[in-house]
Amino acid sequence: MNCAWNPAARRYTLRMAIAMAAYVGVLVASLTLLRTRDLQGPLLWLTAVAPAIPIMGVIAAMGAYVTEMADEYQRVKLVRAMIIATGLSLSIFTALGFLENAGAIGKLEGIWAFPVWCACLGLAQAVGAVRDR
């Protein structure tokens, strides 16, 4: 996220680094277990869903950053970009969902929802930065 180097940004960076490090570790462990063990029932569910938990941590870190930002105008700009990113990514996935139903494209991978939202956020922030110049 585009931000000045302030206490909220420092905390955000630290939380993000922890969540991303946890994600890499949990993802590797999860994929290894799913490949090497014949997991069934709740253990399969738990192992499969485990990498989503640090990603939820990333989302929580973003939410905490919004609430902790001291500069209200920067907060308004970030929230506006997040709303645009949400609308854009929901539109993309809705369109892709209909294309998938029609057999025009392959299977839609749900795990791409958050990365696509992040890409849309980056785009919305870049457009906002150009407009603010």
Tell me which residues touch another protein (CB under 8 A): 4, 70-74, 76, 132
Say if residue 86 is exposed, middle or buried (CB neighbours under 10 Å; 0-12, 13-18, 19+). Answer: middle
Would you say 76 or 83 has its CB closer to another protein?
Answer: 76
- Minimum distance from CB of 78 to another protein (Å)? 12
- Minimum distance from CB of 109 to another protein (Å)? 38
Q: Which of 52, 21, 71, 49 is nearest to 115 (CA)?
A: 52
Helix (DSSP H) and strand (DSSP E) numbers for the chain: 5, 0
Would you say 38 or 72 has its CB closer to another protein?
Answer: 72
- Minimum distance from CB of 30 to another protein (Å)? 41
Would you say 76 or 127 has its CB closer to another protein?
Answer: 76
Hunting for tokens 């709303």 — which residue is that? 83
- Minimum distance from CB of 70 to another protein (Å)? 7
Would you say 72 or 109 has its CB closer to another protein?
Answer: 72
